[in-house]
Amino acid sequence: MDTIYILWLRELKRYYRSRSRMIGSLGQPILFLVALGFGLGPVFKRAGQGNYFEFLGPGVIGMSILFTAVFTGVQVIWDRQFGFLKETLVAPVTRFQIMLGKTLGGATVATLQGIIVFFLTLIAGFRPVSLVHLPLALVFMFLIALFFTSLGVAIASTLQDMQGFQLIMNFVVQPVFFLSGALFPLNGLPKALAIVASLDPLSYGIDGLRYSFVTVSHYGALTSMLVLLVLTFIVLSIGSFLFSKIEI
Dump pLDDT digits (tens) for 92-130. Answer: 667 777 788 888 888 888 898 899 999 988 888 888 887
Closest to 147 in 3D by CA, of 98, 99, 104, 117: 104
Task: State how far the Cα of 15 lies from the Cα of 1, in Å rounded to an integer.
Answer: 22
Q: What percentage of residues in the chain have a pLDDT greater than 90?
A: 21
Q: What is the DSSP string of 60-78?
A: HHHHHHHHHHHTTHHHHHH
Q: Span 192-203, mean pLDDT?
A: 90
- 224 pLDDT more than 60: yes
- 146 pLDDT more than 60: yes
Q: 79 and 157 in contact (C-beta within 8 Å)?
A: no
Q: Which residues contact 240 (CB under 8 A, 6 or more apart)?
A: 95, 96, 99, 100
Q: At what angle do helices 201-214 and 52-70 cross, to 10 degrees?
A: 140
Q: Phi, psi at residue 52, to the nearest 5°?
A: -70, -30
Residue that wins the pLDDT comparison between 51 and 70: 70
Residue 152, amino acid: G
Q: Span 42-70, mean pLDDT?
A: 79
Q: Span 154-179, mean pLDDT?
A: 80
Neighbours of 125 (CB within 10 A): 16
pLDDT of residue 247: 67
